[in-house]
């Protein structure tokens, strides 16, 4: 009989960056091709499409990201599945905080800011309720996972 304890559970590996890039671009293309009517989820969870400016390239980049509804905006959690490093999109938004977000037929221009250490204890329960794996991701890494609070610009 196999045990089903958390300690014996194998962690899912984090795919290489090139795989994530191809999957993201395909996801954005298919969502756009269906005029936003399809491909609004990733592994069964709803995503938003964030258009940001590249930190190095200066180009406009659109990525599907998990999100947490928050007040009149949303939260973006830079978890990358509990990887030891921040996702690339984190650096784009940190450098260029003015973003455009599309989800549920809405388009919003938002300004992102990093949540402070004092704000995070109130935000994590909201994030965990919206997407339970965030708690596992925090346990998986020693990195302080950043949360962006995105509000009307």
Share of the chain above pLDDT 70, in %: 71
84 has a pLDDT exceeding 60? yes
Tell me: the pLDDT tens digits for 131-142?
Answer: 999 999 999 999
pLDDT at position 105, please? 75
- Is residue 11 over pLDDT 70? no
Q: Helix or strand or coil: residue 37?
A: coil
User: What spatial distance separates the first Cα and last Cα of the chain, rounded to whole Å?
Assistant: 55
Given pLDDT bands bounded at 50, 70 and 90, which one contains residue 46? confident
Q: Rounded distance, CA 42 to CA 47, Å?
A: 7
pTM of the model as a whole: 0.79
Of 83 and 29, the structure prediction assigns the larger pLDDT to: 83
Q: Please state which CATH number belongs to domain 44-152.
A: 2.30.110.10
**Extents of the domains making up the chain:** 44-152
| E strand residue ranges, the chain | 41-42, 45-53, 60-66, 68-70, 73-77, 98-103, 106-114, 147-152
Mean pLDDT computed over 59-75: 93
pLDDT of residue 99: 98
The Cα 51–Cα 33 span in angstroms is 16
| Cα distance between residue 149 and residue 56, in whole Å | 22
What would the mean pLDDT of 30-49 be, rounded to a whole number?
Answer: 64
SS3 8: helix
| Token duo for residue 89 | 């999109």
pLDDT at 47: 80
Checking DSSP bridges between strand 73-77 and strand 106-114, what pairing results, if any? Answer: unpaired
pLDDT digits (tens, 9 = 90+) for 112-151: 999 999 999 999 999 999 999 999 999 999 999 999 999 9
Say which residues have a Cβ less than 8 Å from residue 126's Cβ, sequence separation at least 6: 68, 70, 75
The answer to whether residue 8 scores a pLDDT higher than 60 is no
Per-residue pLDDT at 4: 40
Averaged pLDDT, 87-102: 96
Q: Are 39 and 97 in contact (CB under 8 A)?
A: no
């Amino acid at each position: 009989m196999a045990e089903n304890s958390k300690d014996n559970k194998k962690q899912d590996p984090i795919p290489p960056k090139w795989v994530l890039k191809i999957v993201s671009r395909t996801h954005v293309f298919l969502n756009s091709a269906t005029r936003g009517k399809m491909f609004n989820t990733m592994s069964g969870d709803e995503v938003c499409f964030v258009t940001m400016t590249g930190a190095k390239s200066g180009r406009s980049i659109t990525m599907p990201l998990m999100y947490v509804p928050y007040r009149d905006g949303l939260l973006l959690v830079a978890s990358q599945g509990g990887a030891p490093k921040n996702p690339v999109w984190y650096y784009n938004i940190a450098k260029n905080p003015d973003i455009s977000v599309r989800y549920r037929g809405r388009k919003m221009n938002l300004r992102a800011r990093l949540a402070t250490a004092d704000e995070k204890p109130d935000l994590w329960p909201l994030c965990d309720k919206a997407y339970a794996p965030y708690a596992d991701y925090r346990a998986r890494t020693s990195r302080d996972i950043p949360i962006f609070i995105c509000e009307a610009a």
